[in-house]
Structure 1
Amino acid sequence: MEIVNYNNKKPIISKDVFIASGAKIIGDVEILDCSSVWYNCVIRGDVNYIRIGKKTNVQDGTIIHVSSQGFSATGDKGAPTIIGNNVTIGHNATIHACEVKNYSLVGMGAIVLDRSIINEMSLVAAGAIVPPGTVIGEKELWAGNPAKFIRKISSKEEDLLKNTPEVYYNLSKEFLKK
């Protein structure tokens, strides 16, 4: 892993966060208790800030970035990235200048773009591309390119959203022992 200060900003990482080798965390980033950042992730808070809540898992190969004044996909001022508690970010996802709220899941290879909001207990399907400025309601499943509302999540999917962060937390505790 590599923790990089940038522009006098040093990442703040709670002591019980698991960060796998190959991960790079840069600049104005804060990661709270019981979270995990897996192999080869890049979390780059260089031109804005990134906040990651408690018991959130950022899976292998994910890129999390922000936007700055004049470089936002929406043409607006820049935006930070804010990820809530108990969130699952699937392998190789791209999370850019957006907000992902508690107990949500962004599937493998999905892309979530500037100023989008993924509300609580929602699911973005693997490979989906969420266009800039999209607002996904609570307990919704979105899929496709561009991502569109498919349906409300099922009780089985709700259980998945609740249980996956716990599974990854337990896995990260095992890795922290090594």
Structure 2
Amino acid sequence: MEQIKGSDPSSFNHSPCCFEPYISPSPITSFNPVPQEPQIDKTAFISQFSSVIGGATIRNNVFVAPNVSIRADEGTPFYIGSNTNLQDGVILHGLLNKWISDGKNKFSIFIGNGVTIAHRALIHGPCSIGDDVFVGFSAIVYNAIVGKGAFISNNAVVTNSVRIPPNRFVPPGAHIDSQAKANALAKVPKDDKEFAHEVQRVNQEFPASYHLLFGKNRCSCGFAFN
């Protein structure tokens, strides 16, 4: 195990850590022969127990909680916009050579600004999630486009190339797998909209707070040291 230069294991504030990086380029494969490096804004916070691999762009003030997997090693690139939060256990992955286009660029996964992806949700490309969307606990979004301000409830599934119109409410446990179902969705109720805003408010404080907590004395796995 390689020791970090200038550190003394006996001075750790926590039990000794693995020293292994959790942010890495994509591996060289026949389908992606050129390694891609994650591009992460310095104000974003990535938990020491999460991983970011390959061609992922993470913008300012993004919060990535523990046990999140952002794996752009097959489908690529990923984009995660400003002030978005990915909560514990979220998985991002994409299919090879399947993209969503904004007219100028192609993305395996595109996540806009101010988005909440709640605990254990699966976001699988190709897909696009607009600004201010809320994706609930254990929900699945795959092969879909979700419009701005939509609310996807707990355990819901959105798939099969559907487009969720802006500000629409996907009920708990619903399977939205046709455009007819997507078009029939009601507007987001006031209580759910307020809930999504409050979750956003709380999570936008975490990146700066966690950076302050760990400070500069931090090894590659995130544990603090003197």
- Which residue identity does 2:131 align to in structure 1? N
The CA deviation string for residues 9-60 of structure 1, in whole angstroms up to 9 with x for no partner, is: 1000000111112101000000000111110100011231100000000000
CA contact (8 A) 2:43 2:207 kept: no
AA at the equivalent of 1:88 = T
Alignment of 1:62-81 (within 5 A): 62-69=90-97, 80-81=108-109
Distance in 2 (alpha carbons) for counterparts of 1:112 and 1:132: 10
Partner of 2:142: 113
**Quick one: which of 189, 209, 212 aligns to 1:177?**
212
Distance in 2 (alpha carbons) for counterparts of 1:40 and 1:63: 9
Q: Percent same amino acid at aligned positions?
A: 27
Q: 2:130 is matched with which residue?
A: 101
Instruction: Tell whether the 8 Å contact from 1:86 to 1:162 is kept in structure 2 after alignment.
Output: no
Q: What residue is the counterpart of 1:44 in the other structure?
A: 71
Deviation at 1:165, TM superposition (A): 2.0
Instruction: Indicate the structure with greater strand content.
Output: 1
The range that moved more, 102-111 or 142-151, is 142-151
Q: 1:79 to 1:145 in 2, by over 3 A?
A: farther
Bigger radius of gyration among the two: 2
CA separation of 1:89/1:121 partners in 2, compared to 1, >3 Å: closer, same or farther? same
Give the letter for the 1:166 counterpart: R
Structure 2 length normalisation: TM-score?
A: 0.70
User: 2-side partners of 1:88 and 1:24: how far apart?
Assistant: 18
1:73-96 deviations in Å (ceiling 9; x for gaps): xxxxx9610000000000000001
Shift of 1:66: 1.3
| CA apart distance, 1:146 | 1.5
Residue 78 of structure 2 contacts residue 107 of structure 2 at CA under 8 Å; is this kept in 1?
A: no
Provide the residue aligned with 2:50 in structure 1: 23
One-letter identity of the residue aligned with 1:14:
D
Which of the pair has the greater relative contact order for Cα pairs under 8 Å at 6+ separation?
Answer: 2
CA contact under 8 A between 1:55 and 1:166: conserved in structure 2? no
The reply on whether 1:140 has 2:175 as its aligned counterpart is: no
Q: What TM-score does the superposition give when structure 1 sets the normalisation length?
A: 0.88
Given the alignment of the two structures, is residue 159 of structure 1 paired with residue 194 of structure 2, yes or no? Answer: yes
CA distance in 2, matches of 1:43, 1:173: 21
AA matched with 1:161: A
